Amino acid sequence: MEDYIKNDSEAIKGGIESVVENSSSFQISETKKEPSSLKKIAKAFMIVGTVVMGLYLIPLIWCLPMTISYSKKIEKGEEVSAGFKICTLLFVNMVAGILMLADNEK
């Protein structure tokens, strides 16, 4: 009886170890793409533009959400629309908007 219980516990332990090995290999194979240099520079200029606009309070209402939205999109690797890029050029920071428009990476 004890041998039977011992064998079952070893089988369960072996099964758990194989599941752990399989899950760890899955995590290792998952890679995240690094944002391009233009995206990083555009993000920096958006942050600078938001801080400068913070002095005027009212423009901060649209600068802050646009900057946060852009940061999240580049971290997730999502595509940024042309309209968003043009609005950034007009309302947040001209340099950031031009860099965003120049970045053709998808």
The DSSP H or E segment spanning 72 is: helix 60-76
- At residue 32, the pLDDT reads 66
- At residue 14, the pLDDT reads 52
| 97 or 30, which is more confident | 97
The pLDDT of 12-23, averaged and rounded, is: 48
Same domain, 43 and 62: yes
- At residue 26, the pLDDT reads 47
Same domain, 24 and 41: no
Q: What is the pTM of this model?
A: 0.62
Q: Which residues span the domain enclosing 83? A: 37-102
Same domain, 10 and 45: no
Same domain, 41 and 90: yes
- At residue 46, the pLDDT reads 92
Alpha-carbon gap, residue 50 to 63, rounded angstroms: 5
Is the pLDDT at 28 greater than 70, yes or no? no
Alpha-carbon gap, residue 96 to 89, rounded angstroms: 7
Question: How many domains does one find in the chain?
Answer: 2
The DSSP H or E segment spanning 94 is: helix 94-102
Same domain, 53 and 84: yes
The pLDDT of 47-61, averaged and rounded, is: 86
- At residue 7, the pLDDT reads 52
